[in-house]
A = this chain, B = another copy of it.
Amino acid sequence: MNQEDPGFESDHNHQHCIAQALETAHTLCRTRHQRLTPVRELVLKLVWQNHQPLGAYELLPALADAGFNSAPPTVYRALEFLQEQGFVHRIASLNAYVGCPHPERPHRSGFLICRNCKRAVELNTHDVHSALKDSAATLGFEIEQEMVEVVGLCPDCRTSGADHAQ
């Protein structure tokens, strides 16, 4: 969303993304008097392993490997907490979860999702929100949450000729 965010640039140092996300989460939890417990931290780390949204059930094996209970409620509870804190977003059209690069302030999330490589990049939705607010105001509707999920082809997949029909 900011200039320094990697977007769809595939050659960034992703270990840095992960380390940064974990550190931010720790800091925010401390100031918010919330607990980033081991299982929550692990789920956050797993969600951040790459920029592709992960389904809840894809996380369970790794939880089992780490010695945690790996029944669905465990991962869903962790994901619920992480969402409440703004550390991850749920992508409804994929039933999947992805790390948020800017959890320090709550925001309306929007995503560009590549149908080929499956990466999802969070979008600055300022202008989209303005447009939505106007439309909603016309109808007298009071916005509380927005979900914007755009599917298409990322720059890498366009140039690599992956633009065959889905």
- Which residues on A are within 8 Å of B, measured CB to CB? 7-8, 92-93, 110, 112, 114-115, 121, 123-125, 127-128, 130-132, 134-136, 139-155, 158, 163, 166
Contact = CB atoms under 8 A, between A and B. Distances in A.
This chain's copy number in the assembly: 2
A163 B148 CA distance: 24
A140 B152 contact: no
Given A141-B153, A143-B152, 5 more contacts: A123-B132, A128-B128, A139-B155, A144-B152, A148-B148
Is chain A's binding surface mostly helix, strand, loop or mixed?
mixed
**Which of A131, A146, A152 is most buried by chain B, counting CB atoms within 10 A of its CB?**
A131
Nearest to A93: B92
A93 to B, nearest CB: 4
A140 B155 CA distance: 5
A128 B150 CA distance: 12
A158 B136 contact: no
Contacts of A148: 128, 132, 146-148
